[in-house]
Amino acid sequence: MNYFDSVGYLYSLGNEMRGAKLDLDRMLLLLDAMDHPQRHGRIVHVAGTNGKGSTSAMIASGLCAAGLKTGLYTSPHLQQPTERIRINGVPVGPTEFSSAFDVVHQAAERLLESCALEIHPSYFETVTLMAFHLFRKNNVDAAVYEVGLGGRLDATNVVIPEVAVITPVDYDHEQFLGSSIESITAEKAGILKSGRHAVIAKQNDVAMNVIQQRASQLGCPLHLTQRWIPNDVQLDERGCRYRFENLHITCPLAGDHQLDNSITAALALRVMGVDDSAIGQGIASVAWPGRLEQVCDSPRIIVDGAHNPAGARALADYIKRFFNNKKIGIIFGAMRDKSIDELAITLFPLAHKLILTAPNIPRALRPEALLEFSSNTNVSIHPRLSDAIAAIADVDVTFITGSLYLVGEARSLLIQ
């Protein structure tokens, strides 16, 4: 298939949440048919609720700076599915993407014909298999895999990592992972492997206890970022700078939470034997679009994929710290399966002007349904994002948030 046909087929498999199959049977069957590409190279596996994408990107950037040919697999994408599979920071091309799809699709078809497989692998399973194939085909030295959902039964959890990383755990995807921090953490700690190193970001006490118990059962050497106390910390609206021993870090990703994420990435890189100069160079050169990213100067517009309670709190903290005396505009749109009440309670009161909209996908929540969550007197509805952006007025800075799909759409409209 060509690129457009392969993307069309992927979308025909259904959205990633509805198509999620929380067991590894299909993955293991297909990997056996593909001669186990997931075993290639040095591997870092990253789970967590928030920060796992940016942490993965920083680790991959540090490995590149150390001279390693590095694959990075993340989800979701913002604009094109090719963004999910990167080699040395560059998304694979459309031709390579479609070629990898053909390899996975043909393997699935053979198994379907023999009745070894009941149904085609899901969207996420297929793209994960494509990443495994492409990283082996391109002979990467190392690969960083971000968990899609949970950890224990996520399609990526067929790798044996040199280092497993768990970023902060919070509430998200409770319908799949359970309604308590204990159950959610247990799922995410499912990426830990016997005897393999584990780097753990700061956690609440409940989550840390679950992780430590699991690591003890498996004999995992634990490396805790809470033991790293950075010195000379400087934070501004564009990023942070700090020092730890002889390691000097400049992180270009905005938000207080990126200080912690960069520490987690730096610790993981140290555990992998990367020298401090490459760690500093790699983190300083990282790019992670759609997270507190300024996409327009006039009017000033910042996009941020704050799609769960922890992400909303991080965005609210950023606004309060750096824009406390400014008139804030918020353009908000979300998916139907999100905790809208918690997002709204956190973000809507910060808006001088609130504009409710929707991402241009079927799973989006109608903006009219968001009205019940707002007591803001200066609120308007614009079902199309382009009209919402055109309605920006009388504010100092506007944040487009609530869904990564909305952020991706905004980037397509605003970045030329």
Burial 103-138 (b: 16+ CB within 10 A, else e): bbbebbeebeeeeebeebbbbbbbbbbbbbbbbbee
pLDDT of amino acid 322: 95
| pLDDT of 21 higher than 80 | no
Q: What angle do CA 179, 184, 189 make, to 5 degrees?
A: 165
Average pLDDT over residues 108-123: 95
Query: Where does the chain hold its CATH 3.40.1190.10 domain(s)?
Result: 3-284
Written out in words, the top-level CATH class of the domain with range 3-284 is alpha beta
How many other CB atoms are there within 10 angstroms of residue 287's CB atom? 11
DSSP 356: E
Instruction: Report whether 303 contacts 411 (CB < 8 A).
Output: yes
267-323 pLDDT per residue, tens? 999 999 999 999 999 999 999 999 999 999 999 999 999 888 889 999 999 999 999
Average pLDDT over residues 181-195: 96
Q: What is the pTM of this model?
A: 0.94
Instruction: Report whether 215 contacts 239 (CB < 8 A).
Output: no
Q: What angle do CA 267, 269, 275 make, to 5 degrees?
A: 105
pLDDT of amino acid 219: 98
pLDDT of amino acid 19: 47
Distance CA 175, CA 184 (A): 10
Average pLDDT over residues 162-177: 86
Average pLDDT over residues 20-27: 79
Q: In the beta sheet, which residues pair with residue 330?
A: 354, 399
How many other CB atoms are there within 10 angstroms of residue 174's CB atom? 12
Query: Where does the chain hold its CATH 3.90.190.20 domain(s)?
Result: 293-414
Q: 31 is written with which tokens? A: 């990997």
Q: 370 is written with which tokens? A: 């968001």
| pLDDT of 15 higher than 80 | no
Q: Tell me the CATH architecture of domain 293-414.
A: Alpha-Beta Complex (3.90)
Distance CA 345, CA 350 (A): 9
pLDDT of amino acid 105: 97
Three-class SS of residue 239? Answer: strand
| pLDDT of 20 higher than 70 | no
Lowest mean pLDDT among 120-134, 141-155, 356-370: 356-370
Average pLDDT over residues 121-150: 97
216-245 pLDDT per residue, tens? 999 999 999 999 999 999 999 999 999 998
**Averaged confidence pLDDT in the chain:** 94
| pLDDT of 14 higher than 90 | no
Q: What angle do CA 98, 104, 108 make, to 5 degrees?
A: 135
Interacting residues of 217 by C-beta distance below 8 A, sequence separation 6+: none
| pLDDT of 121 higher than 60 | yes
Q: Looking at 272-359, list the stretches that DSSP marks H as alpha helix, in order from N- to C-terminal side.
A: 276-284, 309-322, 340-347
Q: What angle do CA 110, 116, 118 make, to 5 degrees?
A: 95
**Percent of the residues in the chain that have a pLDDT greater than 70, as a whole number:** 97
Instruction: Report whether 258 contacts 240 (CB < 8 A).
Output: yes
CA dihedral angle for residue 243, residue 44, residue 154, residue 411, rounded to 10 degrees: 60
pLDDT of amino acid 337: 73
pLDDT of amino acid 310: 87
CA dihedral angle for residue 25, residue 28, residue 29, residue 35, rounded to 10 degrees: 180
Helices 276-284 and 52-65 pack at an angle, to 10 degrees, of 130
Q: Looking at 151-233, list the stretches that DSSP marks H as alpha helix, in order from N- to C-terminal side.
A: 174-177, 181-188, 205-218
pLDDT of amino acid 376: 79
CA dihedral angle for residue 153, residue 257, residue 75, residue 62, rounded to 10 degrees: -100
Scan for tokens 């830990």, then name that residue: 192
58-87 pLDDT per residue, tens? 999 999 999 999 999 999 999 999 999 999
